[in-house]
Chain A
Amino acid sequence: MRTFGLSEFLFILDAARWTVALSMIAFAGGAIGGLIIALSKTSDNRALQLLSGGFIQIFQGTPLLLQLFLVFFGAPVLGMNINPWIAAGVALILNTSAFLGEIWRGCIQAVPSGQWEAAQALSLPYVARMKYVILPQAFKIALAPTVGYMVQVIKGTSLAAIIGFAEVTRSGQIINNATFQPLIVFSVVAGIYFVLCWPLSLLAARIERKQAVALAR
């Protein structure tokens, strides 16, 4: 039987790059999707509002694990060949889009109404109004919660282990099955996530504190 040594540790650590890669894909895709959702939800178009609202309700009202399963087991039904990489990527992007969309909707609506009115008074068309007036201000408000949400994205990638994607959690399982030393194995796994997530949590808290000070002035 193997015991937990340096090579086992490196095996798990090596898988961290897949966790990071999957997180980045989910975040990048989710940011694009989230922006579309947030803009639809804040638009004047009733159909777009309903559509984005339904999207958010469905993805925030069902477990991420089930979303992952639906993509993973649903794609072959639609005649697509799919591997855990794509399934995990697609499910995480959709889920992240819904959550970031809802966060950013709040930030867009938090921009004082005087700014909207000023932009309208200057007769700026929609794109210019959003691009030059609303979104830059919403961005500042959104920074802290977005960085905070990145932590959720990284943690969410762990579920890809259940459909067999070999990221940190899955590698931990594999090593645990070989060594039967769950205490040390899962401590290492948890430690890797902590090292990835904690700096982001601290950063989010720091941005929030700074902005609170700026607002108090």
Chain B
Amino acid sequence: MNYTFQFDAVFAAWPLLLKGTWNTIELSMMAMFFGLIVAVVCAWGKTGGPRPLRWIINAYIELIRNTPFLVQLYFFFFALPALGLRWSAHTAALVAMVINLGAYATEIIRAGIESIPRGQIEAGLALNLKAHKIFRHVILKPALRTVYPALTSQFILLMLSSAVVSAISADDLTSVAANLQSQTFRSFEIYIVVTVIYLALALAFSALFRVIYQRTLDYPAGR
């Protein structure tokens, strides 16, 4: 192997890489936030909604889970504007990520909801709690606690698959890398650095999720 690695050009571009990293973090966190809302609503609809609603939610989940994210992205970026919906690459990427995560997270949360024993809900009814309070405190919170590991690894998978949005140039970290690559021709070095950044992000997110669990969902410390 007679190849000299030259990382100078890559590190010289650190402000761009930093910006790209931040964009990926922002995009992922927004997608996680809205995706979780979509998922909770759909999981609620799927476990307790009327039959036609359940049917629609099922169709949504199956469609999204059985087609690639890249194709969904192209659909939102190329096909929907053809119907008159105009939006930027960034918005199309965010919407595609929310819709994608929503489908996966719905199934995860539904599994959590179905693991709640019937008696617990009856106990809530016996305490005369209103329906929305039962859903929030008796069903949703313990359900999230149960499925938390599966849910957060889905979140991290989403952050990693956000690299795909570079295919429509949605100024995330991978898009920055692609631009740098065409300017400096140090493709291998650039992609090594960017891959390491993604690995660091994945570790950082899983640490963050542990803290969030302790702050929000964990049982209070024992007496």
Contact = CB atoms under 8 A, between A and B. Distances in A.
B75 A190 contact: yes
Contact of A79 (B1, B63, B194): B1
Interface residues of B, number: 40
Nearest to A181: B82
Nearest to A184: B79
A40 interface: no
Nearest to B191: A69
Contact of B79 (A58, A67, A70, A187): A187
Contacts of A60: 202
7 contacts: A61-B203, A63-B174, A66-B195, A70-B192, A78-B1, A183-B79, A198-B62
B78 A66 contact: no
Given A62-B202, A193-B71, A197-B67, A74 B82 contact: no
Contact of B63 (A65, A156, A194): A194
B74 A182 contact: yes
A193 B72 CA distance: 11
A172 interface: yes
B69 interface: yes
B187 interface: yes
Interface string B51-64: 00000000000110
B163 A155 contact: no
A185 B160 CA distance: 27
B67 A194 contact: yes
Contacts of B194: 66
A158 B66 CA distance: 12
B198 interface: yes
A169 interface: yes
A51 interface: no
Contacts of A186: 71, 74-75, 78-79
B198 A70 contact: no
A77 B1 contact: yes
Contacts of A70: 188, 191-192, 195
Contacts of B80: 183
A67 B79 CA distance: 28
A159 interface: yes
A41 to B, nearest CB: 17
A172 B74 contact: yes
B1 A65 contact: no
Given A66-B198, A172-B74, A201-B62, A155 B69 contact: yes
A73 interface: yes
A63 B187 contact: no
A153 B101 CA distance: 18
A193 B82 CA distance: 22
A21 interface: no
B48 interface: no
B65 A201 contact: yes
Nearest to B24: A63
A128 to B, nearest CB: 35
B70 interface: yes
Contact of A158 (B65, B71, B188, B202): B71
Given A65-B163, A187-B79, A169 B70 contact: yes
Interface string B120-143: 000000000000000000000000
Given A62-B160, A70-B195, A158-B71, A197 B3 contact: no
B164 interface: yes
A161 B74 CA distance: 12
Nearest to B205: A61
A88 B192 CA distance: 17
A62 B78 contact: no
Counting from the closest, the 3 A-B pairs by CB-CB distance are A63-B163, A158-B68, A182-B78
Given A78-B1, A155-B69, 10 more contacts: A60-B202, A61-B202, A64-B161, A65-B163, A69-B187, A73-B188, A155-B68, A183-B79, A190-B75, A201-B66
